[in-house]
Structure 1
Amino acid sequence: MIIDSLHNASKYTNLHPLFARAFDYIQKNDFSSIENDVIIIEEGLKVIVNTAQGKSKEMSLTSFECHNQNIDIQVCLQGTETMGWKPREKCNNPKGDYSPEKDVLFFDDVPDMFFQLNVGQFVIFFPEDVHAPMISTDIIKKLVFKVKI
């Protein structure tokens, strides 16, 4: 997992060939008026624009998730979002089987830590990062880039 500010995004562009394209897409687009949508940027890279009411910690933990086929870059555009995190190797209680169609595996575990994202900050979740997003009393507007591994 990586947490940082968009001001430092260029430090991470060499980690994956599509990271530079994702961060470039953020700089070149105004998301203030874009409604919830899924935008295909190119093969292996899409962005989900999502505005929604934040959830309680308990509600978010029902979707404590990780992915096998994609890396998430989650960017906070509005509100303050709290997220739970735990390394996958420490999760022992899967909830159901992995869904290759949705690229998601859920766990019934407790996060090791919680952290906040403020406007202009991002987190990168790799397949080994189990996460519970959208914890907040705010309306959250965010971008979730799905970067194919």
Structure 2
Amino acid sequence: MIADALDGSGHDSRYLHPVLQRALAFLLETDFSKVEDGRIDIDGDRFYAQVMSLHTVPPVERLAEKHERCIDIHFLLEGEEDIGWKPHDGKEILHLAYDAEQDCTLYRELERERRIRLEPGMYMMLFPSDIHRPGLGGGERARKAVVKIAADLLQA
């Protein structure tokens, strides 16, 4: 997991894989104030963004998730959002076993889950080893873009 401000004041993206650099460049260069909620294709089903508006909820109202085949980059556009996170260690309480079609395993309870607060301009990059619980808060409105990248693009 990497959490940072997109302005580059923290993590040095030069050390990231070129596909991840391309994703961050897309987020930096896109004027999301002119983009409606919905899907933006970058490279078909293997590399795309989903722009969404949401109201945050307490952790008990949101399941945690883990993907096997994709990397998520959550980029906050408006509002505030906490994202729960923990590395997968096999000790999680399973809610729904892995669904290959949805590329998702769902968890209800996580020991030692950490909450990371995102503010506009910040992103959180989540890899297949990361369990995350997005959209957390106290009912605040937020808007974000989630870039989905097929993990095997990083192996090319």
1:13 Cα shift? 5.2
Gap change, CA 1:145 and 1:13, over 3 Å in 2? farther
Unaligned runs of 5+ in 2: 152-156
Structure 2 match to 1:69: 69
1:40 Cα shift? 1.2
Gap change, CA 1:10 and 1:96, over 3 Å in 2? closer
C-alpha distance in structure 2 between counterparts of 1:147 and 1:16, whole Å: 12
1:47 pairs with one of 33, 37, 49: 49
In the alignment, is residue 56 of structure 1 matched against residue 65 of structure 2?
no
1:148 Cα shift? 0.7
Aligned residues with identical type, % of pairs: 28
In the alignment, is residue 147 of structure 1 matched against residue 146 of structure 2?
no
Structure 2 match to 1:84: 84
CA contact (8 A) 1:49 1:142 kept: yes
C-alpha distance in structure 1 between counterparts of 2:14 and 2:2, whole Å: 12
In the alignment, is residue 104 of structure 1 matched against residue 104 of structure 2?
yes
C-alpha distance in structure 2 between counterparts of 1:148 and 1:13, whole Å: 20
CA contact (8 A) 1:49 1:144 kept: yes
1:10 Cα shift? 7.3
C-alpha distance in structure 2 between counterparts of 1:148 and 1:14, whole Å: 19
1:128 Cα shift? 1.0
TM-score by length of 2: 0.85
Structure 2 match to 1:95: 95
Gap change, CA 1:130 and 1:30, over 3 Å in 2? same
C-alpha distance in structure 2 between counterparts of 1:13 and 1:93, whole Å: 37
CA contact (8 A) 2:6 2:28 kept: no
Gap change, CA 1:123 and 1:78, over 3 Å in 2? same
Paired AA for residue 50 in structure 2: I
1:108 Cα shift? 2.3
1:103 Cα shift? 0.9
Structure 1 match to 2:154: none
Paired AA for residue 85 in structure 1: W
Root-mean-square deviation (CA, aligned residues, Å) is: 1.8
CA contact (8 A) 1:84 1:113 kept: yes
CA contact (8 A) 1:35 1:51 kept: no
Unaligned runs of 5+ in 1: none
In the alignment, is residue 38 of structure 1 matched against residue 63 of structure 2?
no
CA contact (8 A) 1:36 1:48 kept: yes
1:112 Cα shift? 2.2
